[in-house]
Amino acid sequence: MGFFQDMVAVFKKRALVFLEYSKESKDVYTFVFEKGDDWTWKAGQHGLLTVTHKKIKTPTKPFTLASSPSENVVKITTSITDNPSDFKKALLELKPGTKMTIAGPLGSFNLTDNKPTLLIAGGIGITPFRSILKQNEAEGNRVTEQIHLLYMDSNKTYLFKDELDAIANVTVTYLDSRDDLHWETEKFASSYKDNGNYFIAGPKAMVDSISTLLKNNNIPKRNIKKDAFYGY
């Protein structure tokens, strides 16, 4: 989706009705909302979620949609520590039936070409890849070329591991070392070079580091898509 389309999408707000939340790990929660009949998105996109049930200083935050368009709910997955922001506190206070609003969908972090693809996730950056992989599976594996997911998590939590392991036609490598992540990235880049697509999602420092690594391995900028997570 282009810049001007994103600008238009920002003003397209709709209500989201909260259903439930679940705890994925010690500090990570998934919040589930009704999807509605007239709203969809491309797997990998995000929306601007706004708290409406209480007044807080910063009521709107961007969130990648962890659910795929083929699922019948909207899922938002985020980390919440022992000292959460007012926004995160508001999420934990949601009751079934409470409404929030969401604007979007936004972004172009999605599969478009049938090429060998490397997905590189750091921690909570797995959320867009869950959506992308679940949607590709629902579409009968539209992308038939190799898809390899590198999932880096120094805590070895590996969100959605059971779901990821059950998805066919994707190779998942679980990592807890940055050196191993760099080695696996360079191995894929040396095999497919500019014939491959490269997606990176996670903390900004990791995204920038891997992007630089790919460019140093002669991967063109046009083959690299990035989704940096700030403070999640």
Which CATH number do you get for residue 28? Answer: 2.40.30.10
One domain, residues 121 and 99: no
For residue 99, the surrounding DSSP H or E stretch is: strand 99-106
Let me know whether 93 and 130 are in one domain.
no
Q: Are strands 117-122 and 147-152 parallel, antiparallel or unpaired?
A: parallel
Distance spanning both ends of the chain, measured CA to CA: 24
Of 51, 85, 106, the position where a domain reaches its end is 106
Residue 111 lies inside a defined structural domain of this protein: no
Residues 39 and 91 in one domain: yes
Under 8 Å CB-to-CB from 108, ≥6 apart: which residues? 1, 2, 45, 225
Paired with 13 in beta bridges are 103
Query: CA of 182: how far to CAs of 32, 64, 174, in Å?
Result: 34, 25, 13
Whether residues 149 and 216 fall in one domain: yes
Of 81, 106, 131, the residue at which a domain comes to its end is 106
Packing angle between helix 204-216 and helix 178-192, nearest 10 degrees?
A: 40
Per-residue model confidence (pLDDT) at position 4 = 45
Q: Residue 200: inside a domain, yes or no?
A: yes
Q: Does residue 112 lie within any of the structural domains?
A: no
**Same domain assignment for residues 101 and 132:** no
Find where tokens 């935050």 sit.
Answer: 61
Give yes or no: residues 68 and 161 share one domain: no
What is the pLDDT, as a whole number, of residue 6? 47
Q: What is the pTM of this model?
A: 0.91
User: Do 100 and 127 have their domain in common?
Assistant: no
Are both 128 and 225 inside the same structural domain? yes
How many domains are there within the chain?
Answer: 2
- Which of 79, 106, 133 is the endpoint of a domain? 106
**What CATH number is given to the structural domain containing 198?**
3.40.50.80
Domain that holds residue 15: 3-106
Residues 141, 224 within the same domain: yes
Answer for the pair 120, 184: CB distance below 8 angstroms, yes or no: no
Question: pLDDT tens per residue, the chain (232 residues)?
Answer: 454 454 545 557 899 999 999 999 989 999 999 987 788 899 999 999 999 999 999 999 999 999 999 999 999 999 998 999 999 999 999 999 999 999 989 999 998 888 999 999 999 999 999 999 999 999 888 777 889 999 999 999 999 999 999 998 899 999 999 999 999 999 999 999 999 999 999 999 999 999 999 999 999 999 999 998 765 4
Is the domain of 123 the same as that of 225? Answer: yes
Peptide bond into 105 cis (omega under 30): yes
Please report whether residue 191 resides in a domain. yes
Q: What is the pLDDT of residue 199?
A: 98
Question: Same domain for 88 and 151?
Answer: no
Kindly give the residue spans of alpha helices, DSSP state H, lying in the chain.
Answer: 3-10, 86-92, 127-138, 161-166, 178-192, 204-216
